[in-house]
Amino acid sequence: MKLGFIGMGNMGLALAEGFLHSGLLSPADLAAFAPNREKLQKNAARLGFIPCKTAHEAVAFADVVIMACKPQQIEGVLNELGDALSGKALLSVALGWDYARYAAKLPSTRIQFVMPNTPAAVGEGVFLFEEQNSLQSEEKQALAALFEALGTVITLPSHLMGIGGALSGCGPAFVCMMIEAYADAGVKYGLTREQALKMTAATVGGTAKLLLETGKHPGELKDAVCSPGGSTIKGVTALEQAGFRANCISAIDAIMKK
């Protein structure tokens, strides 16, 4: 499968790096166009993909076009491409551009909206596939397998893509804030920055893996660490008094407000 990227910013790079890291695609299977030619050339030299001079060139190369530019740029890109996307498969990772929005503009294009997150670059991404799509069955299977090599694929109905994206797409920022805060506490009490960040990040990653692999409720795993009168329950109490869980919900509320 040959992929042609339109846009090669942070998310496009994360996906390209993830696909290559998985070993399922080679650099020769990837081409990309981005308006910042200098940055595109540097990334192409580093990763080995084919840099394209125009969006038309990337589309002509591809079996599947990946729309990875900024949402506000897509209207202009579609106008520029004209009929070039007719008969093509288009996978879009641009927020706000779902199946219905594309289908109204590209009736002859097969469309799949996917909401990814940045851990895709290290094979630990979360990819939300919109249930409504017009891909051929073999295309959908091939793309799902490709993305599963980069992490977790979850299919959601259109009306749940917003909240799904709030959790998985914005979540890495919130997790990084938490890691940074606990690392600051570690430095406060004598650890080096490197030590504090490494142990905190590893603890977060290990705990998440434990939860996913055991299928246990997070409250059960929390309780297993909280011995009577112990240090952990004292810390849990302090977090509850500070409104930790309510503040987490409030962050999602802020995203979901229209």
pLDDT (mean) for 229-249: 97
Using a 10 angstrom Cβ sphere, with 0-12 exposed, 13-18 middle and 19 or more buried, the burial of residue 178 is middle
Residue of 123, 15, 128, 20 lying closest to 65 (CA atoms) = 15
pTM of the model: 0.89
Residues with Cβ within 8 Å of 127's Cβ and at least 6 positions away in sequence, in order, are 114, 115, 116, 117, 120, 147, 150, 151, 152, 153, 154
d(CA 85, CA 64): 10
Supply the pLDDT for residue 147: 93
Higher pLDDT, 225 or 258: 225
CB 158 within 8 A of CB 129: no
How does pLDDT run across 140-186, given as a tens digit for each residue?
999 999 999 999 999 999 999 999 999 999 999 999 999 999 999 99
Least confident of 14-18, 28-32, 128-132: 14-18
Express each pLDDT in 19-72 by its tens digit.
998 888 999 999 999 999 999 999 999 999 999 999 999 999 999 999 999 999
12, 31 contact by CB (below 8 A): no
Instruction: Give the residue-averaged pLDDT of 189-201.
Output: 98
The β-bridge relationship of strands 125-130 and 110-115 is antiparallel
State how far the Cα of 117 lies from the Cα of 164, in Å rounded to an integer.
11
